[in-house]
Amino acid sequence: MVHGMPNSTLEASPNAALNKTILPKYMDLPIPEGKIQAMYVWVDGTGENVRAKTRTLDFIPKDPSDLPIWNYDGSSCYQAEGGNSDMYLYPVAIFNDPFRRGNNKLVLCDTYKANGKPADVRGGHLELVDTNKRHSCLKAMEAAKDHEPWFGIEQEYTLLDMDLRPLGWPKNGFPGPQGPYYCGVGANKVYARDIVEAHYRACLYAGVNIAGSNAEVMPAQWEYQVGPCEGISIGDQLWMSRFILHRVAEEFGVVATLDPKPMPGDWNGAGAHTNFSTKAMRDENGIIEIEKAIDKLSRNHLRHIQAYDPKGGKDNERRLTGRHETSSIHDFSAGVANRGASIRIPRGCAEQKKGYLEDRRPSSNCDPYSVCEALVRTCILNE
């Protein structure tokens, strides 16, 4: 047994079993002058998973518009039928590649059909659903630009072994009840901090505006925060941070899941609390604006629940039970420092009479473009 890694993980994961001392020999090879690798990353038809593929470039891109549009097989990503499967990747944001380093890049893309329309899905069922959520989010952000909307998202996630059991949990039983694990330290409190540390550094290197990280209430559950970011960049940054998380965990032979309730029963679920402010909320006496926004949110609860997980509310049904620091999916509520409410006003903001609000409803696997679009349309554009 490798120190600190349960046997079952090593045996089940070919990635963890590979000899990790061999790769650096190749990564250190000098490569032809002027050539770089660009890994294009995009969201697939599940609205939840990311895909990626690499191409060689003979220049260093500075702006997404420098980069070529590229094609991919939409039918293998639940976004097209086999007979008409060519789809297009439009580069929207460039990050430094923490895996290949040097001048190599990660390129976030949004997805389009051959007719130039944003991607949709026909997977499993006949109903068409937009799967390029960025396209309409960007329109809302442009319309709301003068209000300078800021977002900070708290991304919770759970580490699983290859059997999809939370990492470090006994195979035939459960860890002790929740209590000691949140922000915990020690070998019997937290599992796989290596992954958390590697992810944090990789995000900083990449240029993701990561704000912090902490161990969560359920053992093997963690959180990091991205933000504050203005406008559309919150979605771009959060999606790239998720790609980096899955990619780092892959190297360790561990699965990172964004499922909002990985373990039923008396275990906390996982959310993506979304902290939101406008310029007026951040200014003196902004609390009045925060209260106005909460009033609008109270009258649009259903619309927000539908936008806050990839299954239109079905995923959050398992999580928003009114227990385990959540509100009930059926009711809207708001309160200062209240972690059982839909919307929480942080105590510091109530005291300073300005700042931001926290929407606690978005599920960990939400699409941040959908969540932030809904907030902007309800609170700023009054739609």
The footprint of ligand ADP (CB under 6 A) covers 150-152, 154, 211, 225, 227-228, 273, 275-277, 282, 355-356, 358
- Which of Mn ion, ligand ADP, none does residue 289 bind (CB under 5 to 8 Å by kind)? none
Identify residues 263-282 at the interface with Mn ion (CB under 5 A): 273
Q: Give the nearer residue to Mn ion in terms of CB position, either 206 or 341.
A: 341
C-alpha distances in angstroms, 339 versus 218, 253, 380, 381?
16, 34, 25, 27
Cβ contacts of 134 within 8 Å, gap of 6 or more = 92, 110, 232, 235, 236, 369
Q: Give the nearer residue to ligand ADP in terms of CB position, either 154 or 309.
A: 154
Size of the site for Mn ion (CB under 5 A): 3
The conformation of residue 77, written as its DSSP 8-state character, comes to G
Residue 154 interacts with Mn ion (CB under 5 A)? yes
**Whole-number minimum distance, CB 238 to Mn ion, in Å?**
14
- Which of ligand ADP, Mn ion, none does residue 275 bind (CB under 5 to 8 Å by kind)? ligand ADP
**Whole-number minimum distance, CB 346 to Mn ion, in Å?**
9
Beta strands in the chain (DSSP E): 36-43, 50-57, 70-73, 86-96, 105-112, 120-121, 129-130, 150-160, 210-215, 221-230, 255-257, 274-277, 334-336, 343-345, 357-359
Task: Return d(Cα 156, Cα 173) in angstroms, integer.
Answer: 24
Q: Give the nearer residue to Mn ion in terms of CB position, either 97 or 223.
A: 223
The conformation of residue 340, written as its DSSP 8-state character, comes to T
- Which of ligand ADP, Mn ion, none does residue 262 bind (CB under 5 to 8 Å by kind)? none
Identify residues 205-234 at the interface with Mn ion (CB under 5 A): 223
Q: Give the nearer residue to ligand ADP in terms of CB position, either 135 or 282.
A: 282
* 233 phi, psi to nearest 5 deg: -65, -25
- Which of Mn ion, ligand ADP, none does residue 91 bind (CB under 5 to 8 Å by kind)? none
- Which of ligand ADP, Mn ion, none does residue 267 bind (CB under 5 to 8 Å by kind)? none
Residue 18: Cβ within 10 Å count: 12
Task: Return d(Cα 199, Cα 15) in angstroms, integer.
Answer: 17
**Whole-number minimum distance, CB 310 to ligand ADP, in Å?**
22
Length of the chain: 383
Q: Give the nearer residue to Mn ion in terms of CB position, either 102 or 212.
A: 212
Q: Give the nearer residue to ligand ADP in terms of CB position, either 166 or 286.
A: 286
Binding footprint of Mn ion on the chain (CB under 5 A): 154, 223, 273
